[in-house]
Structure 1
Amino acid sequence: MKFSADLDETDLALVTALQTAPRASWALVGRALGISPVTAARRWERLAEARLAWVTAYGGGFIARHHVEAFVEVDCVPSRLSSVVAGLVEQPQVASVEHTSGQQDLLLTVLVSDLAALSRLLTDVIGRLDGVLATRSQIVTELLTEGSRWDLRALDRHQRQVMLDSRDDPAAQEPDPTPAPEDIPLMLALGHDGRLGYQELAQRTGMSESTARRRTSRLLRTGVLVPRCEIAHSRSNYPVFVTYRMNVPSAALARVGSALSGVPAVRMCASISSAHNLVVNGWVRSVPDSRRLEEYLVERFPEITLVDRSLTLANFKRMGWILDDEGRAVRPVPIDLWRAPASV
């Protein structure tokens, strides 16, 4: 059975395996899928060369604890939207850029060092782009789940367990891990290619290979760095993105948010400081499925008051990667929240 013109069942299983363990060896991937390591590597090479799948990496939980993540709505002059997007995608603090239905024209995910940096980004960079009419920002107070934990669900239970068994034991994590200044070049290099080997990481950063291995292993083990396998959404089974904005009573927010994060269609769930206090993003098969997902969520979680919903019309950048009209990878602009916002 073919799922699309470009990806067959084995391709989708391969991507799912790497969504489960993005830096797994080809030997492990091959064992999970029942193919040889060489076949697994060649299939990945074909997908990567076609820009249909890629692995990136970005900062993890320390951002919410010590820095700022925000969703920014941008209103634009319609005729200037393309030029506004061209300026936004080059900003290393702007992780994602979506053209959406609804009240806003663009929806951004931004990662910055602190609230003052967010202010500078909004006023000195985004606000100065020709064609921007207004911005509205919502600060993330807790990221309950995000895209690195979502997958295409193309593995059976045994295959998935093989991949899960390769991951580090979370019990080995530090209580409040953060990156050292020496780690930042590694994080940016892995934003370009989340599967870079230690020898190449050493060459790119000027570290010894043993130092690159030790530091990278610690970043991954503690969740300071989050690797993520992406797919061109237009070639997957889930080409439609929907975003719901909700209100949940404060006393129920943690419970509902945690439960929402376990819904298979939910890719991102975050509590925010805004007129509404919860944002949920889902990937679904069709536009009608976005309504069915909404009905399911409202029925399962009666505490939810749905405030607004929007569909993504075009995804120009996703977690540090510029995309083309079909959602294929064009090139990376790795997320760098430590850099001061500056106009393009």
Structure 2
Amino acid sequence: MERESDAFDALDLQLLAALELAGRAPFSRIAAVLGVSDQTVARRYRGLTAEAGLRVVAVRDAERLGQDQWMLRLRCTPDSSGAIAEALAKRPDTGWIGLASGGTEVACMSRPRSRGDQDDLLLGKLPRTPSIVEIRAQQLLHRFYGGPTGWIGKFSALTDDQIAALRPEVPAASGPARIAPEDEPLVAALERDGRATYPELQRATGRSESAVKRSLAALLASGAVYIDIEYHSEILGYSLAALLWITTSPGALHSVGEALATHDEIAYASATAGPSNIVATAVVRDTGALYAYLSGRLGHLEGVQHVETTPFMRRVKQLTYRMPG
């Protein structure tokens, strides 16, 4: 994948790729791998934070935790969609919220942490909101791409040797993926700042530094959480994102999903239950590039029967935080 942007250079892209791969790595380690000084990495990091909304955050992996995930499509009256999106963005169990369909639709990923939370949202709050005209909820069944595997990796900004040098050493998991009640303060602190130091995490949790280190290592090893980055794709020259609701023949579901995972344009793809059986997020430079992808590589993919495209007008929330309006 080629990058077309004058906003930043190849080193900035390498830094994004390094943080996507090893978000908690010390700047000194990243600098050594990239062949620059610690001060340069720190300065570039501050610049990307200010200009591209860069944040390093911990994300709960609902699929590994065995928790339900839903893609919600809420058709709203035009004057209410913004307020509904903002209200959803305040919830800790939502992510990837965007305004679409000319401002009449809110698209949202919901990750309820309990059956009670799920029922409260899907059967309680949303149906009682008078400005919501229609609710479509599709359960996510199987992730083909996304989660711990980030989109920046498709730019091939790092060499194989650099990737090997940066890849964090995670001990083998000693049990199933789970977040114990005593780990909740630790995960919450990392959701706010994935690069929080161990002394900072110690203060946030009230636990010893050694206990924090052991708990974090166990959480990462089991896959219960992973460290990811949030940023504005516009800084790379990719200003348009769209949800693709794809219908395939049943026998082609897995092969189409696996193929989508290899496409440069796809940042996320999952099998779903509902009217369509795959939902994917495409990130492209502009409407022309979106048309080229829909009519070209995606349109020619064997097994694809129908595609509904929902471009985002504005993204309201990414992984864990609300984006500025």
TM-score (norm. length: structure 2): 0.89
Supply the distance in 1 between the matched residues of 2:148 and 2:115 (Cα, whole angstroms). 25
Residue 271 of structure 2 corresponds to which residue in structure 1?
271
Over 3 Å counting, the alpha-carbon distance change for 1:244 and 1:151 in structure 2 is: closer
**Residue identity matched to 1:39:** T
CA shift, 1:99, in A, is: 0.6
**Residue identity matched to 2:203:** Q
Report SS of the residue matched to 2:227. Answer: strand
CA shift, 1:137, in A, is: 0.4
Residue 338 of structure 1 corresponds to which residue in structure 2?
none
CA shift, 1:20, in A, is: 2.1
Structure 1 alignment gaps of length 5 or more: 326-344
Which deviates the most, 186-195 or 96-105? 96-105
Residue 38 of structure 2 corresponds to which residue in structure 1?
37
Supply the distance in 2 between the matched residues of 1:195 and 1:286 (Cα, whole angstroms). 33
Residue 55 of structure 2 corresponds to which residue in structure 1?
54
**Residue identity matched to 2:41:** A
Of residues 3, 6, 15 in structure 1, which corresponds to 2:5?
3
Supply the distance in 2 between the matched residues of 1:2 and 1:102 (Cα, whole angstroms). 27
Supply the distance in 1 between the matched residues of 2:222 and 2:21 (Cα, whole angstroms). 16
Over 3 Å counting, the alpha-carbon distance change for 1:264 and 1:51 in structure 2 is: closer
8 Å contact kept, 2:78–2:104: no
**Residue identity matched to 2:59:** Y
CA shift, 1:213, in A, is: 0.7
Aligned residues: 321
Which deviates the most, 125-134 or 277-286? 125-134
Residue 251 of structure 1 corresponds to which residue in structure 2?
251
Supply the distance in 1 between the matched residues of 2:320 and 2:65 (Cα, whole angstroms). 21
Is 1:13 the counterpart of 2:14? The answer is: yes
Report SS of the residue matched to 2:176. Answer: coil
Q: For residues 169-221 of structure 1, what are the alpha-carbon distances to aligned partners after superposition, in whole Å with 9 as ceiling and x for unaligned?
A: 67823563222112221111111011111111111111110111111112122
Supply the distance in 2 between the matched residues of 1:211 and 1:98 (Cα, whole angstroms). 38
CA shift, 1:157, in A, is: 4.5
Supply the distance in 2 between the matched residues of 1:206 and 1:105 (Cα, whole angstroms). 43
CA shift, 1:164, in A, is: 3.9
CA shift, 1:266, in A, is: 1.0
CA shift, 1:114, in A, is: 4.2
Supply the distance in 2 between the matched residues of 1:260 and 1:2 (Cα, whole angstroms). 22
Over 3 Å counting, the alpha-carbon distance change for 1:191 and 1:237 in structure 2 is: same
Give the percent of matched residue pairs that are identical in Structure 1 and Structure 2: 22
8 Å contact kept, 1:64–1:141: no
Report SS of the residue matched to 2:87. Answer: helix
CA shift, 1:130, in A, is: 5.5
Structure 2 alignment gaps of length 5 or more: none
Residue 228 of structure 2 corresponds to which residue in structure 1?
228
Over 3 Å counting, the alpha-carbon distance change for 1:2 and 1:8 in structure 2 is: farther
Q: RMSD of aligned C-alpha atoms?
A: 2.4
Q: For residues 18-71 of structure 1, what are the alpha-carbon distances to aligned partners after superposition, in whole Å with 9 as ceiling and x for unaligned?
A: 1122112212211232211221012212322446211111111x5465211100
Residue 283 of structure 1 corresponds to which residue in structure 2?
283
Residue 262 of structure 2 corresponds to which residue in structure 1?
262
8 Å contact kept, 2:140–2:273: yes
Superposed counterparts of 1:125-136, under 5 Å:
125-129=125-129, 131-136=131-136
CA shift, 1:248, in A, is: 2.2
Residue 180 of structure 2 corresponds to which residue in structure 1?
180
Supply the distance in 1 between the matched residues of 2:46 and 2:82 (Cα, whole angstroms). 31
Supply the distance in 2 between the matched residues of 1:118 and 1:20 (Cα, whole angstroms). 32
